Amino acid sequence: MICDWKIIHLFITLLWTGTIASFDPLSVTGIGVGAGSMFSANWNKMFCILGECCYEIPHNLTMLESSLKEHLFGQHIARDVVTQAIKAHFKDPPPGKALVLSFNGLPGGGKTFVSQFIIKSLYKSGLQSQYVHYFNGRTHFPLKSKTDIYKIHLGDWIRGNVSQCGRSLFLFDEVDKTPEGVLDGVKPFLDYHEHIDGIDFRKATFIFVSNTGSQIIAEKLLEFWEKGGKRENLQLSDFEDLLRKGLFNEKGGFYKSDTIESNLIDHYVPFLPLEESHIRQCIEAEFHHRGKEIPHEEVYKEVLKGVTFGPGSLRLFAHSGCKRISSKVAALLESPLFTG
C-alpha cells in the first residue's frame, strides 16, 4: 500500500484541530484562510509529542539526579557538581554564557557514563537526538597537520547547529588525543556574548571528556588518604586549580589553550580513582543489569582477579576503574561456576 503523506498530514491535522467533525463542503475556502495558522500550530504541537522539537526539550532534571545517585559509584564531587550545574543552566532567565564542563580522570571512573546520563535526561531521543553532537579526538581530528582545517569546520558545525537549536549539546571525547589548537575554534562560542552574527550560544552545553589530569587527581587523593582523610570530605575546590593548570600544561587538546587562559570552562570535574568497594558495586550493578541474582563472595573474588590495583603494594585504586567489569561478568557467566 502506497501512502500519500501529504494527505495523512492534512487528515491528522484536521482531526487534531477538530475540523473534520464540523467540516462544511461549502466552506473550503474559509478553512484554508481561517484555520491555516491553527493547523500549523497544532501540527507542530503533535509533532513535538511524537518526535523531538528544540523548544520542547524535556530536560528531566529529576531523572538526572536519581540516575547519578543510583548508578554512579565513588564520585560524590562529580554527582553534586553536574546536578547543580545542569539545573542552574536550564533555569530562567537565560544563562550569561554556554555551560562548559570538563570531565577529567582515569578510564573507568564514570566520565562517559555521566555524559550519557546528562544527554538521556535532557533530550527525548537521548543519544540519538539531532541536537546532540559527538566528537572523538582520535576519529574526528586524527591529523595534526590539518589543525587549521579542523578548527574552521568545527566552528562552522557549531554555528550551523546552534542556529537551528540554541539548546544544542556538544560532547568532545578523548580531548587528550585531540591536536592542540583545534579546540580554539570553539572558544568564541563559550564566552559572554549575547550573540555572534545573530546567533545566541548562551543556552548551549559543551562537555569535554579527557584522561588528562588523572595523575594529579590520584596524587591528591593519595595524599589526603595518607593524612587520614576520607574521600567523601574532598571537595571540588581541592582539585579545580590543579586540573586547570594540568590541562593547560599537559600535551593534548587544551595545551596552552585560549579557552583555559580566558577562564571559560565553568567546572573542572574530577573523577576520583575507584577503590575495591566501588568495584564491588559495579559488579553487583552488572549482575542486576543482566537480570541475575546478587553474586556471592566467591563471585566477587573471581571478577576482582581481573582488576589491577595500585599504586604499588598499597593496592588502593583500580587502574581501569569499572571499565572492564561488564566483559568480565559476561565471561564469568559462561564459566563452569555458572554453567557447570
For residue 277, which amino acid is it?
A: S
Q: Does the pLDDT at position 282 exceed 60? A: yes
The residues, ordered by sequence, that sit 6+ positions from 177 with a Cβ below 8 Å of its Cβ are 136, 137, 138, 252, 253
| Segment 202-220 mean pLDDT | 96
pLDDT tens by residue, 173-199:
999 999 999 999 999 999 999 999 999
- pLDDT tens digits for range 68-90: 999 999 999 999 999 999 999 99
Name the pTM for this structure: 0.85
Q: Quick check: helix, strand or coil at residue 116?
A: helix
Task: Please indicate whether residue 11 or residue 238 has the higher confidence score (pLDDT).
Answer: 238
pLDDT in tens, 122-132: 999 999 999 99
Instruction: Among 3.40.50.300, 3.40.50.1110, 3.40.190.10, 1.10.3720.10, name the CATH number for the domain at 61-271.
Output: 3.40.50.300
Pairing of strands 309-310, 317-318: antiparallel
**Sequence-ordered strand ranges (E) for the chain:** 99-105, 132-136, 169-173, 205-210, 267-271, 309-310, 317-318
Cβ burial of 157 (10 Å; 0-12, 13-18, 19+) is middle
What average pLDDT does the segment 289-302 reach? 89
How far, in Å, CA of 162 to CA of 186, rounded? 12
Beta bridge partners of 172: 135, 208
pLDDT at 23 exceeding the cut of 60: no
Residues 163-168 have a mean pLDDT of 96
Asked whether the beta carbons of 201 and 159 are under 8 A apart, the reply is no
pLDDT score, position 340: 61
Of residues 55 and 270, more confidence is placed in: 270
pLDDT at 43: 47
Q: How confident is the model at residue 50 (pLDDT cuts 50, 70, 90)?
A: low
